[in-house]
Amino acid sequence: MKLFVHNFMSSRFLKNVTVGYPLELTVKQFEEKDIEFDRENTIVMLDKVQYEALLVAAAAVNQADRIPSEQPAKYDELSDDQLKQFHHILMNIDVVDGELICPETKTVFPIRDGIPNMLKVDAEK
C-alpha cells in the first residue's frame, strides 16, 4: 500500500464513526521503490491530499523530517528537490506489513502483502 492511498482511506463506514480520519498507521515492514518523478503530477497529487494525514503517514515510516510540518502555501512554488521529498513519501514507499487503526473505535485492519484488509467482518472476528 502506497502512502498516497492511506490519504484517501477512512473508517467512516463503521457504525457510530463520524469522521474516521486519518487512520492511524503502524508499519512493520515497508519497501522503498524508485517510481519516476514527474513535477506536474506531484503538484496535482498534492492538491488532492490532506496534509494532516500525510504527516501521519510520513511519521509512521519515520520520515516526517523529509517534509515541512506545516502545509506549504503553494505547491507549485516548491523546488524539484522539495517536491521529490513529497513524491518519495507518497509514491515510493510501499507498506508491506502493518495495521490501519480506526481513530474513533480503535478497530484494527491488517495490511498483509501490501494489501489492506478493510473488511468489517474480518476485523470483528
Partner 1 sequence: MDIINDYLQFLLVSNSSILCNVSLEELEAIFLPLDEDAEFIVYPNKRSYSFVQCSSVEKAITVRSELHGLIPQSLKNSHQLFIISFVQNLPKAKKSENFRPADLEVVEDYVSEQIEKELVDLLINHPEGKLAKICMLSYFYFLVQSLKHRAVVHFGHVFDYSTNSASEWKAADPIPPVINTLIDKLMSEKYITERPDQITANVYEPGHGIPSHYDTHSAFEDPIVSISLLSDVVMEFKDGANSARIAPVLLKSKSLCLIKGESRFRWKHGIVNRKYDVDPRTNRVVPRKTRVSLTLRKIRHNPCECKWKEFCDWDRKGEMSVPSSEDLALKLENSYVSDVYENIASHFDETRHSSWRAVKNFIDEIPRGSVMYDVGCGNGKYLIPKDGLFKIGCDMCFGLCEIASKKNCHIVRCDALLLPFRDESADAAISIAVLHHIATFERRKKMIEELLRVVKPGSKICVTVWSMDQSKSEYAKMRGNKDEQLTENETGGKSDRLKVHDGKDFQQQDVLVPWTIDQQGETYLRYYHVFRDGEAEHLIGNVDDCELVSVEKEQGNYIIVIRKNCFSSN
Of 24-32, 39-47, 55-63, 73-81, which part binds partner 1 (CB under 8 A)? Answer: 39-47
* Residue 29 in contact with partner 1, rule: CB under 8 A: no
Which residue among 34, 70, 113, 124 contacts partner 1 (CB under 8 A)? 113
Which residue among 26, 44, 59, 108 contacts partner 1 (CB under 8 A)? 44
**CA gap 108, 86 in Å, rounded:** 27
Please identify, using beta-carbon distances, which residue of 14 and 64 lies nearer to partner 1: 14
The amino acid occupying position 92 is N
Q: How many CA atoms lie within 13 A of 63 on its CB side?
A: 17
Of 54-62, 70-78, 81-89, 108-116, which part binds partner 1 (CB under 8 A)? Answer: 108-116
**CA gap 14, 75 in Å, rounded:** 34
Buried b / exposed e along 34-68 (16+ C-beta atoms within 10 A): eeeeeeeebbebbeebeeebbbbbbebbebbeebe
Site of interaction with partner 1 (CB under 8 A) = 1-2, 4-5, 8-14, 19-21, 41, 44-45, 47-48, 109, 113-121
